[in-house]
Amino acid sequence: MQLQHSRIVATGIIGAAYMTPPFSLHSMSDLLANLNPPQLAAVTLPPQHSLILAGAGSGKTRVLTTRIAWLISTGQVGPHGILAVTFTNKAAKEMLARLSALLPINTRGMWIGTFHGLCNRLLRAHYREAGLPALFQILDSTDQLSAIRRLLKRLDVDDDKFPPRELAGFINAHKDQGIRAPLAEAYDEYTRRRVELYAEYDAQCQREGVVDFAELLLRSYELLSRNEPLCRHYQERFRHILVDEFQDTNRLQYAWLKLLAGHAQKRSATEPGEIRPDGACLFAVGDDDQSIYAFRGAEVGNMRDLEREFAVANVIRLEQNYRSHGNILDAANALIKNNRGRLGKSLWTDAGAGEAIRVFEAFSDVDEARFVVDEVRELVRDGFPHTQIALLYRSNAQSRVLEHQLFTAGVAYRVYGGLRFFDRQEIKHALAYLRLIGNQDDDTAFARVVNFPTRGIGSRSLEALQEAAHRANSSLYNAAASLAGKAGASVGSFIRLIETLRAETEKLPLPEVIDHLIEKSGLRQHYLGEKEGRERLENLDELINAATNFLQEESDTQANPAEASPLASFLAHAALEAGEHQAGEGQEAVQLMTVHAAKGLEFDVVFITGLERGLFPHDNAAQERDGLEEERRLMYVAITRARRRLYLSHAQTRMLHGQMRYCLPSLFLEELPGELLRKINRAPAYTERAPSRVAKALMAAEQSPTNVLRIGQNVEHAKFGLGVIVSAEGRGNDARVQVNFGAQGMKWLALEYAKLTPA
């Protein structure tokens, strides 16, 4: 492509420029080649506000970058008159790389980046007007937590009552709504105190010359809204504003865009979408059907607001999908039609119908995982690369069963965008407590949890303890008795906790040991107060399930030496799984991820697992406004990740929160047309295991009124004491009973491990 001589025309107070058309008709034809009609219409739109509804796999990135290239190459705007906003640095880099390939221009100085990146650039250029030092620093999420902890300590605030993570979430949520502390609503005494801490945190950050991520956008918005000459400067510079993933914008991001687009100045326009000389053209690309980040503050309603407030005359739908086969798209369309208030589109492809969607109903979550891994191995044998196979799940806790089966089968895998189950923080904390119960001389475990949850044991106390242990050539645990003063009292309290836990769990089955430990160590209470605590608690419950399954597998294979305790064997098992089969960079590996993490990705083969009511859609959806619709959009995203083959699986029973749960298929399965599905249930791959001694007793109770265990029978449990059996269900290895323990409440217990004795 040859750059011809061009005349540069300067406009505006900062010399924003546009070029007369420098490209030949042949070059222009190359630029627009291979665009389908809706894509071509979007790229070549006249200078008006536009909304592009870009379905999954419809080429939105191509449309965005080609639109920018078209505007520049036709002389409508210069490179420095473009503002393009993405949601990830990866997307911004990809856009710049594509532009460099399309146009012979230097893209380095162009304003293309994420909201946070562009706001940082704006504040660096105008730090004085923004009230910041020239070299202000940015706090990442870890730094922000540290700053909040310092604040709470300085103000002598109980961080158990005001957990740092929860307070950070409170502050960030208000900033994302554009609400400073003086305007925050305090509807009770607790919230009033949080608002005061928000104000103190802001003051501390200002003194120290630092800003957090949420502050970047809020400070940038305030700078432009309060400084009219500066705002007009940028409004006249940026003649075209292009936004990717518009459905993921929050209220403040949308307000920032409206400000830069000169929305206030254009309200007097007489024609819909008309652009006055002081305004910019807003070109928004998004998909309301893929809005899945409400928990981060995303407002899918911004798309309708944009259409109304900017009097958008051009709504173009990109519906031709270049990713998936027809059956997959037809399933996605049928599902999402159940959502109300959609802007509306229907995906299609000319790639053919492809294969039917495979549906598998498993007996249990373990059976489901075995099926998935067996299929993965078959797919690999049939020539599918490991990297083109993705296992998706709604909740991170579900990965544990899949990881275990992959590990057992020797299949390399990678957890995308997250940690393997046994590497997660909350799991490592719980395992550290278990290790200390089993071996008090384990200094690594001791150091990890001696002050977690926080017990006022600071770094100086730990240094003193380490020195004492070194002098005595002993473990940290044994050296604790030598500490005096406040440090000695704090560490001594922790030692007593471990000794109490050891005594209380001595006679309990392993799953109940873990349950008791999570409760009494303070881990459960700690994570209840965290913003992301719900997911961490689900993972801790899954650790109980892992122990239950481990004991059963150990019983089946008789792999445990007689002298090894169940606790020691389980800890060894956890260490081995944590250290194996996570593929390295560049290594062929199956991809595991949550559906949220899968957005923007695509694979030849996709498994969507755990399609059961209460799991997907999640229980919490029923408690939130439009929660079910957000879950349906999440399922839509999951389906449209698949190119060639899609598997949907669910289980009749699943271990959740440490208990066996009897499951119903997800309502999303009911919303898919039957003619698109092929049920592939095989003869059960599992073999019913030999029932335990106690399970046999309960089964016999169904036949003999004189049996030891029966409904109404008084029983005794090592942890909960005396109780009475009020209900029973399941057979064989899955038999369990519901027992009323009076003050301890009603408990469901697996007979295989509960060790109930007649009272």
Exactly one of 245, 299, 319, 365 is catalytic; name it.
245
Bridge partners (DSSP) of residue 138 are 211
Contact 9, 17 (CB under 8 A): yes
Q: Measuring CA to CA, how many Å separate 667 from each of 153, 290, 611, 625, 650? A: 49, 19, 9, 18, 12
- Active-site annotation holds for 60: yes
Tokens of 492: 């001594």
Q: Which of 212, 244, 365, 515 is catalytic?
A: 244
- Cα–Cα nearest to 137, from 151, 118, 124: 124
> Nearest Cα to 348, choosing from 332, 359, 336, 365?
332
Report the C-alpha gap between 303 and 51 in whole angstroms.
Answer: 8
Collapsing DSSP to helix, strand or coil, 42 comes out as helix
Residue 202: closest CA among 263, 260, 272, 131: 131
One-letter-per-residue 3-state SS of 271-333: CCCCCCCCCCEEEEEECHHHCCCHHHCCCCCHHHHHHHHCCCCEEEEECECCCCCHHHHHHHH
Q: At CB < 8 A and 24+ separation, what contacts does 453-459 make?
A: 453/160, 453/521, 453/522, 453/523, 453/525, 453/526, 454/159, 454/160, 455/490, 455/493, 455/494, 456/490, 457/487, 457/490, 457/491, 457/494
**Residue 405 annotated in active site:** no
Residue from 39, 48, 60, 548 carrying the catalytic annotation? 60
Q: Catalytic: which of 290, 349, 609, 653?
A: 290
Which of 317, 400, 632, 641 is flagged as catalytic? 641
> CA-based diameter of the chain, in Å?
102
For residue 649, list its beta bridge partners. 360
**Is 641 tagged catalytic?**
yes
Q: Compute φ and ψ for 302, nearest 5 degrees.
A: -60, -30
Residue 679 structure tokens = 């049920």
What is the crossing angle of helices 533-557 and 399-409, to 10°? 40
Rounded to 10°, the helix 485-505/425-438 angle is: 80
Q: How far apart are CA 651 and CA 611, in angstroms?
A: 8
Task: Confirm whether 317 is a catalytic residue.
Answer: no
Burial level of 237, CB count in 10 A (0-12/13-18/19+)? buried
Q: Is 44 a catalytic residue?
A: no
Which has the closest alpha carbon to 645: 323, 322, 402, 325?
325
Task: Output helix, strand, coil percentages for the chain, rounded to the nearest 5.
Answer: 50, 15, 35
Say how far apart CA 516 and CA 508 lie, in whole Å: 9
Determine whether 61 is an active site residue: yes
Two tokens at 14?
């900062």
- Compute φ and ψ for 235, nearest 5 degrees: -65, -40
* Residues 653, 412: Cα–Cα separation, whole Å: 27
Active site residues: 60-61, 244-245, 290, 641
